[in-house]
Amino acid sequence: MGEARKSVVLFGPSLGAVSGVSTHLNQLLASSLARDFTLHHFLVGREGRVESVAARLFRFAFSPLILAAYLLKARPDIVHLNTSINRKAFWRDLGYLFVARALRRRTVYQVHGGELPEDFAAHRPLRMALLRWVLGMPQAVVVLAQCERTAYRRFVPATRVEVIPNAIDIDVSRQISPRAITAAPLHVVYVGRLAKTKGIYEILEAVRLLHDRGTTLRVTLAGDGEEADNLKALASRLGIAQRIEFAGPLFGEDKNRLWASADVFAFPTFHAEGLPYALLECMAFGVVPVTTAVAAIPDVMQDGVHGRLIPARNPPALADAIASLDADRATLQRMSGAGQQRIREHYTLERMAGEFRALYQSL
């Protein structure tokens, strides 16, 4: 009789939530990993839940005990905790990590963005000591970017730190050819949460600058968030409301159709992104990114090869980068094809599943 399959429990938000971590969990559960390991999901956090304040307080107080009961009953071989190094996620997930280690479960601590350790600790001796102790508990820490691995290894040299980048399903985008050279107005899109830290206000300022120069563009902003109404009001004040379509959140085929029609992905983020799925998606569809050198973004794309990297909080730089691509459609086409090739060679689901398979087996 063959050896029983090892089991892994994946901690994270609701599988139906609109979040990068939920996408990650769904990918792992549907991947070839499920042929080699028995995968389970344990729900943590607020994303994807509808609950009262009392229910939220109950969950916060008792979820570590619920987890302990679950681990004692299910007895998984590995606990894979998906978290971020920010104030809310770190402290929320600390209790789960303590429970997993107290019950002697082998633990993978995957960090999806947030601050780097030294920044989060802010050079406060007690917080630095606590963070070093916490990061020393898992058998492995997984990060998304090479710069993150360098920072974590400097902060906790004895901890095993691995880089496993995000991935996407490229089956749909395989049908998309690199952009043809046309004289049609450039279609610039943004896909994501409408939040200040994503650089969305800088996009509007750049569109105004291009409008003043007489550049004709199609601009689509797809997403929702706390800044939606303010952005619409600003577009009116800037005199560019007629040039911008606020498409709301798009999913599935609707989002695929937007990518298939787009030329440039404007993403001047200054948020601690990790590795944005929107960046991988746009490149898979042959859409050329104009973005910033945040976290894992420089690992994925090279300035002048797959797209343009610009300084953060700099609308003129964003406007200039878009204008240069508008004026040089041959370069736009070349970058389109290079981006598709980059994703298909390095950011497939099978690559990610294989790297987690090797990590799990090593534990």
Domains 7-167+348-362 and 173-346 share a fold: yes
Please report, for residues 98, 99, 308, 342, the alpha-carbon distance to residue 189 in angstroms, rounded to integers and kept in the order given. 43, 44, 15, 21
CATH fold of 7-167+348-362: Rossmann fold (3.40.50)
Task: Give the predicted TM-score (pTM) of the model.
Answer: 0.92
Rounded Cα gap, residues 261 and 10, in angstroms: 36
Hey, CA dihedral for 45, 50, 54, 58, is it positive or negative? negative
CATH fold of 173-346: Rossmann fold (3.40.50)
Domain ranges of the chain: 7-167+348-362, 173-346
Q: Do the beta carbons of residue 246 and residue 224 sit within 8 Å?
A: no
Reading the chain (363 residues) residue by residue, the pLDDT tens digits are 456 799 999 999 999 887 889 999 999 999 999 999 999 999 987 665 566 667 666 666 678 889 999 999 999 999 999 999 998 899 989 999 999 999 999 999 999 999 999 999 998 999 999 999 999 999 999 999 999 999 999 999 999 999 999 999 888 667 677 677 888 999 999 999 999 999 999 999 999 999 999 999 999 999 999 999 999 999 999 999 999 999 999 999 999 999 999 999 999 999 877 899 999 999 999 999 999 999 899 999 999 999 999 999 999 999 999 999 999 999 999 999 999 999 999 999 999 999 999 999 999
Rounded Cα gap, residues 324 and 319, in angstroms: 9
3-class SS string, 119-174: HHHCCCHHHHHHHHHHHCCCCEEEECCHHHHHHHHHHCCCCCEEECCCCECCCCHH
pLDDT at 12: 94
Q: Helix, strand, coil: what percent of the chain each, to 5?
A: 50, 20, 35
